[in-house]
């Protein structure tokens, strides 16, 4: 990487955001990523948020090139700050999952953590359409977060979380997993696995057909 390409890695001080849950979930997520991600190639992270996950995963999977993104300009600064000095992380890009076109045209895998429930449903639909466009056949789309499931009691903590999300924004909230799977399969993404994770979260993985 040239000095010019590294220039984005020197953001102003004090722009790092911190998401406390990251410290608790990053290691379990990384364990599952080891079984789902390709050995090499580019991983597009949609809705990178603070950038802490991207920095952690980039260190743990050095053979992969990580491309973080977020629609929030302040988040882009935080991502750059957390990923400073990591040679296998590309400059973060402004990407709205719901947009009909993305600034990234190809990725070997897509990772999306804690976006589906903290965004309008249109963002999830856009994520599936984007994955259909940019992933190669067999490329994984990996989601992480809390979901509702038909016939499965929702944990009280997730019920409370859902209520707090809807109080903040009525178009947010925990999604029914079956509806997420249906949206993915309508865009040529084949459901591969559902893995229970700590704190009543799930990893849900798809493969591009």
- pLDDT at position 15 is 87
Question: Quick check: helix, strand or coil at residue 204?
Answer: strand
CA angle 32, 70, 176 (to 5 degrees): 55
| In the chain, alpha helices (H) | 20-36, 52-60, 73-82, 121-134, 156-168, 177-185
Per-residue pLDDT of the chain (209 residues; tens, 9 = 90+): 333 333 334 444 468 999 989 999 999 999 999 999 999 999 999 999 999 999 999 999 999 999 999 999 999 999 999 999 999 999 999 999 999 999 999 999 999 999 999 999 999 999 999 999 999 999 999 999 999 999 999 999 999 999 999 999 999 999 999 999 999 999 999 999 999 999 999 999 999 99
* Separation CA 98–CA 58 (nearest Å): 26
Query: Cβ(80)–Cβ(51) under 8 Å?
Result: yes
What's the pTM? 0.93
């Amino acid at each position: 990487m040239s000095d010019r390409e590294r220039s984005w890695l020197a953001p102003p001080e004090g722009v790092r955001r911190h998401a406390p849950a990251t410290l608790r979930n990053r290691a379990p997520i990384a364990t599952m990523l080891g079984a789902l991600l390709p050995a090499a190639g580019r991983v597009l992270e949609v809705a990178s948020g603070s950038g802490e996950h991207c920095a952690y995963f980039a260190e743990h999977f050095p053979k992969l090139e990580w491309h973080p993104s977020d629609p929030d300009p302040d988040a882009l600064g935080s991502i750059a700050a957390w990923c400073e000095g990591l040679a296998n992380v590309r400059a973060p890009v402004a990407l709205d999952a719901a947009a009909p076109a993305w600034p990234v045209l190809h990725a070997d895998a897509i990772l999306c953590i804690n976006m589906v429930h903290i965004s309008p449903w249109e963002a999830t639909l856009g994520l599936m359409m984007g994955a259909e466009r940019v992933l190669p056949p067999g490329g994984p789309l990996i989601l992480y977060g809390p979901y509702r499931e038909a016939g499965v009691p929702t944990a009280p903590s997730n019920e409370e979380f859902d209520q707090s999300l809807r109080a903040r924004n009525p178009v947010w909230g925990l999604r029914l997993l079956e509806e997420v799977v249906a949206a993915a399969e309508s865009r040529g993404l084949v459901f591969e696995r559902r893995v229970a994770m700590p704190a009543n979260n799930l990893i849900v993985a798809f493969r591009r057909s």
